[in-house]
Amino acid sequence: MGPRAWCLFVLLGLSVWGSSEGLRSPILTRRRRYLEDKGEPPKKCSYTFLVPEQKITGPICTSRGLHTDKDRVTRLDVAAVRDLLSKQRREMDTLKLVVNIDGNMVNEMKLLRKESRNMNSRVTQLYMQLLHEIIRKRDNSLELAQLEGRILNATAESLRLAARYRDLEVRYAALSAVVNSQSVLVGALEERCLQVYGRRQEQSPQGPPLVQVVPENIPVSIPRFTNEIQRDHGRAFPRDRGSQAGPAPTGSTLELQKAPQGNFSAEGPFRDCLQAQEAGHGTSGMYLLKPGEAERPMQVWCEQGLDNGGWTVIQSRRDGSVNFFRNWDAYKNGFGNIDGEYWLGLLGIYNLGKQGDYRLLVELEDWVGKKVYADYSSFHLEHENEGYRLRLGTYQGNAGDSLSSHNGKQFTTLDRDKDAFSGNCAHFLKGGWWYNSCGQANLNGVWYTGGVYRSKFQDGIFWADYGGGFYSMKGVRMMIRPID
């Protein structure tokens, strides 16, 4: 209960008390005045006490002898008192109503205070938000300033680039002028080249037709396109394909070769490797042979371990260490290293064949180490006057028959064209062989690494029925033996 409520309560008490005083005194006053008006002396009879706010239910206490008549309470007095009481009750009700209204006002005040507190907190919150917004805007303004700085830098850079671009444009224009003048010159030169080239084309034939054989047994190897050629091509290897002047026979002819230690038999000479084998030399190696019509002995490699042995190796390729692009004399007399790559020589092969009936075995090795064979039932060469014409028997084996198409052909080198082609097959296939036009085999061609090779002409060591014209063998051996 607030101080205001207490005040109201006290006021109410005083009012009640005052009313009771006022209640008693006007009654007595009026009674005394009534008796005085009648001229009667006041009688001392009795007093009647009325307790306000209390209904008179019992008998009214009277006292005789002590009070006068004018102090006696009449019914009118009671009614007057009752009216007064009811009036006071109404006033009290009014006061209560006022108090209630005031209480409502207090509650409203409390609510207003609470609302005010809420409003305060809300205002504080808004203030904080405003502060935050201000700070953020300040930061934004800083960022904006930085951005403006960057834009300025970028603008300056773009201006510099534009200046450089203009400079480059000027240079480009100058270069374009130079290129245009050069183009005119190049055009004139091209025209002259075409005129010269056209005349050459009319004079020189086209290259030979390519081998079109697509063999069933393609060597299993990873195709490697390489143009790596024989390692010693720098030695006596004509740089110009169209050169008519072939290299002279080198000093590595068979007569001049020193015999290495080990696989060399000092005995002999034998007529062929079969005779050496029959003489007790069962190991493969270098032997000295002297065929019947030969003027001088010659070194040769005897293969005694393959197919009962007795094989005289007349050609060997294995590592590209020897250049096979040679002239007639070299192919006639032979070249290379007996324990490596070599060509025995047309003369020596002819002399061997003159001794009797020989068969030919061609051994081919591809780049995954697989070996295949082509066996011809007979083999010999005709005299040099016939260009060492090739004479072959029937084929058997697993390499395919790529040599029979060369049967009956003379031997062609870069300086002696005996082939059936309009040009010189030795020029295009870079070897010496019994070329036809130009043929299905080129075992004296260029030793390419990896098998499949790229070249304008099919100049690798190919055997058309095994790998086609653009697969160069890793190893080749041609060997002969007397027919059993």
Which of these segments, 70-78, 338-346, 398-406, 413-421, binds Ca ion (CB under 5 A)? Answer: 413-421
Q: Decide: is 207 part of the binding site for Ca ion (CB under 5 A).
A: no
Residue nearer to Ca ion on the CB measure, 320 or 439: 439
The dihedral through the CA atoms of 455, 460, 463, 467 has a sign that is negative
Min. distance of Cβ 479 from Ca ion in angstroms? 29
Residue nearer to Ca ion on the CB measure, 242 or 356: 242
Min. distance of Cβ 250 from Ca ion in angstroms? 25
User: Which amino acid, residue 466?
Assistant: Y
Min. distance of Cβ 302 from Ca ion in angstroms? 36
Min. distance of Cβ 208 from Ca ion in angstroms? 9
Residue nearer to Ca ion on the CB measure, 384 or 417: 417
Which of these segments, 147-155, 315-323, 410-418, 443-451, binds Ca ion (CB under 5 A)? Answer: 410-418
Residue nearer to Ca ion on the CB measure, 415 or 419: 419
**Distance separating alpha carbons of residues 160 and 163, to the nearest angstrom:** 5
Residue nearer to Ca ion on the CB measure, 365 or 417: 417
* Cβ atoms of residues 361 and 375 within 8 Å: yes
Residue nearer to Ca ion on the CB measure, 71 or 419: 419
Q: Contacting Ca ion (CB under 5 A), which of 419, 438, 442, 469?
A: 419
Min. distance of Cβ 469 from Ca ion in angstroms? 18
User: Which amino acid, residue 436?
Assistant: N
DSSP, residue by residue, 170-206: HHHHHHHHHHHHHHHHHHHHHHHHHHHHHHHHHHSPP
Contact pattern for Ca ion over residues 108 through 147, marking x by CB under 5 A: ----------------------------------------
Under rule CB under 5 A, how many of the chain's residues touch Ca ion?
3
- Closest by CA position to 269, among listed 290, 294, 286: 290
| Residue that is written with structure tokens 């047309």 in the block | 346
Which of these segments, 187-195, 276-284, 402-410, 416-424, binds Ca ion (CB under 5 A)? Answer: 416-424
Which of these segments, 117-125, 277-285, 418-426, 447-455, binds Ca ion (CB under 5 A)? Answer: 418-426
**Distance separating alpha carbons of residues 101 and 110, to the nearest angstrom:** 14
Which of these segments, 15-23, 36-44, 185-193, 411-419, binds Ca ion (CB under 5 A)? Answer: 411-419
Burial 458-476 (b: 16+ CB within 10 A, else e): bbbbbbbbbbbbbbbbbbb
Give residues with Cβ within 8 angstroms of 420, minimum separation 6. 409, 435, 436, 437
Min. distance of Cβ 205 from Ca ion in angstroms? 9
Separation in Å, CA 87 to CA 79, 82, 354, 473? 12, 8, 174, 144
Beta bridge pairs of residue 453? 226
Residue nearer to Ca ion on the CB measure, 419 or 465: 419
**Distance separating alpha carbons of residues 289 and 270, to the nearest angstrom:** 5
* Cβ atoms of residues 417 and 432 within 8 Å: no
Min. distance of Cβ 387 from Ca ion in angstroms? 12
Residue nearer to Ca ion on the CB measure, 287 or 421: 421
Residue nearer to Ca ion on the CB measure, 427 or 481: 427
**Distance separating alpha carbons of residues 348 and 342, to the nearest angstrom:** 13
- Angle subtended by helix axes 3-38 and 75-203, to nearest 10: 160
Min. distance of Cβ 414 from Ca ion in angstroms? 11
Per-residue DSSP letter, 230 = -
Cα 166 to chain centroid, rounded: 38
**Distance separating alpha carbons of residues 134 and 372, to the nearest angstrom:** 93
Which of these segments, 214-222, 311-319, 414-422, 462-470, binds Ca ion (CB under 5 A)? Answer: 414-422
**Distance separating alpha carbons of residues 474 and 446, to the nearest angstrom:** 11
Which of these segments, 53-61, 94-102, 323-331, 419-427, binds Ca ion (CB under 5 A)? Answer: 419-427
Tokens of 463: 């055997």
Min. distance of Cβ 343 from Ca ion in angstroms? 21
What is the biggest distance separating any 2 CA atoms in the chain, rounded to whole angstroms?
Answer: 211
Residue nearer to Ca ion on the CB measure, 41 or 408: 408
* Cβ atoms of residues 317 and 472 within 8 Å: no
Contact pattern for Ca ion over residues 368 through 387, marking x by CB under 5 A: --------------------
Residue nearer to Ca ion on the CB measure, 380 or 427: 427
* Cβ atoms of residues 412 and 432 within 8 Å: yes
Residue nearer to Ca ion on the CB measure, 211 or 314: 211
* 407 backbone dihedrals φ, ψ, rounded to 5°: -65, 135
Min. distance of Cβ 409 from Ca ion in angstroms? 11
* Cβ atoms of residues 247 and 236 within 8 Å: yes
Q: Contacting Ca ion (CB under 5 A), which of 270, 342, 343, 421?
A: 421
Q: Decide: is 417 part of the binding site for Ca ion (CB under 5 A).
A: yes
Which of these segments, 126-134, 145-153, 157-165, 415-423, binds Ca ion (CB under 5 A)? Answer: 415-423
Which of these segments, 24-32, 178-186, 268-276, 420-428, binds Ca ion (CB under 5 A)? Answer: 420-428
Min. distance of Cβ 206 from Ca ion in angstroms? 13
Query: What is the C-alpha end-to-end distance of the chain, expressed in Å?
Result: 147
**Which residues are near Ca ion by CB under 5 A?**
417, 419, 421
